[in-house]
Amino acid sequence: MAEPIPIIGGTGALGAGLALRWARAGAPVVIGSRSAERAQEAAEKVRAAVPGAQVEGLENPEAAARGPVVFMTVPFRAQSENLNNLRGALSPGQLLVDCTVPLAAAVSGKATRSLGVWQGSAAQQAQEMVPDGVTVVAALHTVSAPVLGDLSRDLDEDVPICGERKADKARVAELVELIPGLRAVNAGALEMARIVEQLTPLLISVNVRYKTHAGVRFTGLPETDPWS
Protein backbone atom coordinates (compact mmCIF):
# COMPACT_ATOMS: atom_id res chain seq x y z
CA MET A 1 0.00 0.00 0.00
CA ALA A 2 1.31 3.43 -0.98
CA GLU A 3 1.49 5.97 1.83
CA PRO A 4 -0.98 8.87 1.65
CA ILE A 5 0.09 12.24 0.27
CA PRO A 6 -0.93 15.10 2.57
CA ILE A 7 -1.65 18.42 0.84
CA ILE A 8 -1.66 21.43 3.18
CA GLY A 9 -3.97 24.06 1.71
CA GLY A 10 -5.45 21.35 -0.46
CA THR A 11 -8.67 23.28 -1.00
CA GLY A 12 -6.84 25.95 -3.03
CA ALA A 13 -6.51 25.74 -6.81
CA LEU A 14 -3.03 24.16 -6.90
CA GLY A 15 -3.68 21.74 -4.03
CA ALA A 16 -7.05 20.65 -5.40
CA GLY A 17 -5.54 20.12 -8.85
CA LEU A 18 -2.76 17.96 -7.43
CA ALA A 19 -5.26 15.99 -5.36
CA LEU A 20 -7.30 15.26 -8.50
CA ARG A 21 -4.29 14.16 -10.53
CA TRP A 22 -2.83 11.96 -7.79
CA ALA A 23 -6.24 10.44 -7.08
CA ARG A 24 -6.62 9.59 -10.75
CA ALA A 25 -3.17 7.99 -10.66
CA GLY A 26 -4.40 5.76 -7.82
CA ALA A 27 -2.41 7.44 -5.05
CA PRO A 28 -4.08 7.98 -1.65
CA VAL A 29 -4.42 11.69 -0.86
CA VAL A 30 -5.20 13.64 2.33
CA ILE A 31 -6.54 17.12 1.70
CA GLY A 32 -5.76 19.54 4.50
CA SER A 33 -7.53 22.80 5.19
CA ARG A 34 -8.01 25.23 8.07
CA SER A 35 -11.58 23.90 8.20
CA ALA A 36 -12.28 20.17 8.42
CA GLU A 37 -15.62 20.80 6.73
CA ARG A 38 -14.08 22.44 3.68
CA ALA A 39 -11.45 19.73 3.53
CA GLN A 40 -14.18 17.10 3.44
CA GLU A 41 -16.07 19.01 0.75
CA ALA A 42 -12.91 19.13 -1.36
CA ALA A 43 -12.38 15.40 -0.84
CA GLU A 44 -15.97 14.79 -1.92
CA LYS A 45 -15.35 16.73 -5.15
CA VAL A 46 -12.32 14.57 -5.89
CA ARG A 47 -14.36 11.42 -5.31
CA ALA A 48 -17.06 12.75 -7.64
CA ALA A 49 -14.50 13.39 -10.40
CA VAL A 50 -12.48 10.21 -9.82
CA PRO A 51 -14.71 7.29 -8.81
CA GLY A 52 -12.94 5.09 -6.28
CA ALA A 53 -10.47 7.81 -5.32
CA GLN A 54 -8.72 7.22 -1.99
CA VAL A 55 -9.05 10.71 -0.53
CA GLU A 56 -9.98 12.16 2.81
CA GLY A 57 -10.28 15.71 4.15
CA LEU A 58 -8.81 16.78 7.49
CA GLU A 59 -7.64 19.88 9.31
CA ASN A 60 -4.12 20.84 8.21
CA PRO A 61 -2.19 19.60 11.30
CA GLU A 62 -3.98 16.25 11.24
CA ALA A 63 -3.40 15.93 7.51
CA ALA A 64 0.30 16.76 7.87
CA ALA A 65 0.83 13.79 10.18
CA ARG A 66 -0.61 11.30 7.72
CA GLY A 67 2.27 10.83 5.29
CA PRO A 68 6.05 11.12 5.08
CA VAL A 69 6.10 13.70 2.25
CA VAL A 70 3.85 16.69 2.92
CA PHE A 71 3.01 19.17 0.15
CA MET A 72 2.37 22.79 1.10
CA THR A 73 0.30 24.60 -1.53
CA VAL A 74 -0.87 27.67 0.38
CA PRO A 75 -0.51 31.21 -0.99
CA PHE A 76 2.69 32.94 0.15
CA ARG A 77 0.62 35.35 2.26
CA ALA A 78 -0.41 32.40 4.45
CA GLN A 79 2.84 30.40 4.40
CA SER A 80 4.32 31.58 7.72
CA GLU A 81 1.04 31.21 9.58
CA ASN A 82 0.61 27.68 8.24
CA LEU A 83 4.16 26.73 9.14
CA ASN A 84 3.59 28.00 12.68
CA ASN A 85 0.41 25.95 12.92
CA LEU A 86 2.22 22.83 11.74
CA ARG A 87 5.03 23.02 14.30
CA GLY A 88 3.45 20.44 16.57
CA ALA A 89 2.28 18.26 13.70
CA LEU A 90 5.44 17.67 11.68
CA SER A 91 7.95 15.07 12.89
CA PRO A 92 11.66 14.50 12.27
CA GLY A 93 12.26 12.58 9.06
CA GLN A 94 9.31 14.10 7.21
CA LEU A 95 9.82 16.06 4.02
CA LEU A 96 7.90 19.29 3.50
CA VAL A 97 7.56 20.15 -0.18
CA ASP A 98 7.09 23.88 -0.41
CA CYS A 99 5.23 25.00 -3.54
CA THR A 100 4.65 28.61 -2.53
CA VAL A 101 5.75 31.53 -4.67
CA PRO A 102 6.35 35.00 -3.21
CA LEU A 103 4.37 36.89 -5.85
CA ALA A 104 4.05 40.63 -5.28
CA ALA A 105 0.32 39.95 -5.61
CA ALA A 106 0.51 38.80 -1.95
CA VAL A 107 0.79 42.48 -1.00
CA SER A 108 -1.50 43.78 -3.75
CA GLY A 109 1.35 44.12 -6.25
CA LYS A 110 1.56 42.60 -9.72
CA ALA A 111 1.57 38.85 -10.30
CA THR A 112 4.43 39.35 -12.77
CA ARG A 113 6.61 40.65 -9.92
CA SER A 114 7.92 39.01 -6.80
CA LEU A 115 8.76 39.99 -3.24
CA GLY A 116 12.24 39.80 -1.81
CA VAL A 117 12.19 37.20 0.95
CA TRP A 118 14.77 37.75 3.69
CA GLN A 119 16.00 34.13 3.54
CA GLY A 120 16.26 34.31 -0.25
CA SER A 121 13.17 32.31 -1.18
CA ALA A 122 9.91 31.06 0.25
CA ALA A 123 11.42 27.58 0.47
CA GLN A 124 14.38 28.80 2.51
CA GLN A 125 11.96 30.65 4.79
CA ALA A 126 10.08 27.38 5.22
CA GLN A 127 13.31 25.53 6.04
CA GLU A 128 13.99 28.07 8.80
CA MET A 129 10.50 27.58 10.26
CA VAL A 130 9.98 23.81 10.23
CA PRO A 131 10.83 21.72 13.33
CA ASP A 132 14.33 20.25 13.62
CA GLY A 133 14.72 17.13 11.52
CA VAL A 134 12.11 18.15 8.95
CA THR A 135 13.63 18.84 5.55
CA VAL A 136 12.24 21.25 2.97
CA VAL A 137 12.29 20.52 -0.74
CA ALA A 138 10.92 23.06 -3.26
CA ALA A 139 8.82 21.93 -6.23
CA LEU A 140 5.69 22.42 -8.31
CA HIS A 141 5.87 26.18 -8.77
CA THR A 142 5.36 26.17 -12.51
CA VAL A 143 2.53 23.75 -13.22
CA SER A 144 -0.68 25.65 -13.94
CA ALA A 145 -3.34 25.07 -11.27
CA PRO A 146 -6.24 25.47 -13.74
CA VAL A 147 -4.68 22.91 -16.09
CA LEU A 148 -4.04 20.47 -13.22
CA GLY A 149 -7.64 20.87 -12.15
CA ASP A 150 -9.01 20.06 -15.61
CA LEU A 151 -8.61 16.32 -16.08
CA SER A 152 -9.46 16.64 -19.77
CA ARG A 153 -6.16 18.49 -20.33
CA ASP A 154 -2.91 16.60 -20.86
CA LEU A 155 0.25 17.76 -19.15
CA ASP A 156 3.63 17.85 -20.89
CA GLU A 157 6.18 19.77 -18.88
CA ASP A 158 8.98 19.72 -16.32
CA VAL A 159 8.96 20.23 -12.57
CA PRO A 160 12.24 21.68 -11.29
CA ILE A 161 13.04 20.36 -7.81
CA CYS A 162 15.42 22.06 -5.37
CA GLY A 163 16.80 20.54 -2.20
CA GLU A 164 19.96 19.75 -0.31
CA ARG A 165 19.98 15.97 -0.73
CA LYS A 166 19.48 14.04 -3.92
CA ALA A 167 17.71 11.22 -2.06
CA ASP A 168 15.08 13.65 -0.76
CA LYS A 169 14.56 15.12 -4.22
CA ALA A 170 14.25 11.60 -5.63
CA ARG A 171 11.39 10.84 -3.21
CA VAL A 172 9.58 13.98 -4.27
CA ALA A 173 10.33 13.25 -7.94
CA GLU A 174 8.68 9.85 -7.60
CA LEU A 175 5.46 11.44 -6.35
CA VAL A 176 5.56 14.19 -8.99
CA GLU A 177 6.02 11.62 -11.74
CA LEU A 178 2.99 9.65 -10.61
CA ILE A 179 1.19 12.35 -12.56
CA PRO A 180 1.39 11.53 -16.29
CA GLY A 181 3.06 14.27 -18.33
CA LEU A 182 5.23 15.66 -15.54
CA ARG A 183 8.99 15.11 -15.56
CA ALA A 184 10.92 15.98 -12.39
CA VAL A 185 14.22 17.81 -12.96
CA ASN A 186 16.98 18.14 -10.39
CA ALA A 187 17.48 21.92 -10.31
CA GLY A 188 20.09 21.91 -7.56
CA ALA A 189 20.37 22.95 -3.93
CA LEU A 190 17.51 24.48 -1.96
CA GLU A 191 18.94 27.96 -2.58
CA MET A 192 18.10 27.53 -6.27
CA ALA A 193 14.48 28.02 -5.20
CA ARG A 194 15.38 31.73 -5.37
CA ILE A 195 15.34 31.31 -9.12
CA VAL A 196 12.79 28.54 -9.55
CA GLU A 197 10.17 30.49 -7.59
CA GLN A 198 10.71 33.34 -10.06
CA LEU A 199 9.64 31.14 -12.95
CA THR A 200 6.03 31.61 -11.87
CA PRO A 201 5.87 35.39 -12.40
CA LEU A 202 7.76 34.85 -15.67
CA LEU A 203 5.16 32.32 -16.83
CA ILE A 204 2.39 34.68 -15.74
CA SER A 205 3.94 37.38 -17.94
CA VAL A 206 4.05 34.93 -20.85
CA ASN A 207 0.48 33.80 -20.14
CA VAL A 208 -0.81 37.36 -20.35
CA ARG A 209 0.76 37.79 -23.77
CA TYR A 210 -0.15 34.39 -25.20
CA LYS A 211 -3.50 33.90 -23.43
CA THR A 212 -2.44 30.45 -22.30
CA HIS A 213 -1.21 28.49 -19.28
CA ALA A 214 2.44 27.98 -20.14
CA GLY A 215 4.78 25.54 -18.44
CA VAL A 216 8.51 25.05 -18.50
CA ARG A 217 10.76 22.46 -20.15
CA PHE A 218 14.49 21.99 -20.03
CA THR A 219 15.91 20.97 -23.39
CA GLY A 220 19.00 18.86 -23.90
CA LEU A 221 18.68 16.61 -20.83
CA PRO A 222 19.93 13.05 -21.25
CA GLU A 223 17.48 10.15 -20.95
CA THR A 224 19.38 8.58 -18.05
CA ASP A 225 17.80 8.49 -14.57
CA PRO A 226 19.06 11.62 -12.79
CA TRP A 227 18.12 10.23 -9.36
CA SER A 228 20.18 7.04 -9.45
Question: Where on the chain is the footprint of a second copy (CB under 8 A)?
Answer: 112-114, 144, 147, 156-157, 160, 185-189, 191-192, 194-196, 198-199, 201-203, 205-206, 208-222, 226
Least distance to a second copy from the beta carbon of 220, Å? Answer: 5
Instruction: Output 6 or 201, the one with its CB closest to a second copy.
Output: 201
Q: How far is the CB of 207 from a second copy (least distance, A)?
A: 9
Residue 179 is classified by DSSP as S
Report the residue number, 107 or 221, with the smaller CB distance to a second copy. 221
Tell me the C-alpha distance between 21 and 27, whole Å: 9
What's the min distance (Å) between Cβ of 178 and a second copy? 19
- What is the closest distance, in whole angstroms, from the C-beta atom of residue 28 to a second copy in the complex? 29
**Residues 214, 60: Cα–Cα separation, whole Å:** 30
Shortest separation between residue 150's beta carbon and a second copy, angstroms: 12
Residues β-bridged to residue 157: 182
Of 64 and 147, the one with the shorter C-beta distance to a second copy is 147
Q: Is 40 exposed, middle or buried (0-12, 13-18, 19+ CB in 10 A)?
A: middle
23/161 with CB nearer a second copy? 161
Burial classification of residue 51, based on how many CB atoms lie within 10 Å of its CB (0-12 exposed, 13-18 middle, 19 or more buried): exposed
Could you give the CA distance from residue 140 to residue 166 in angstroms, rounded to a whole number?
17
Nearer to a second copy, 75 or 120 (CB): 120
CA-angle at 140, arms to 169 and 107, nearest 5°: 125
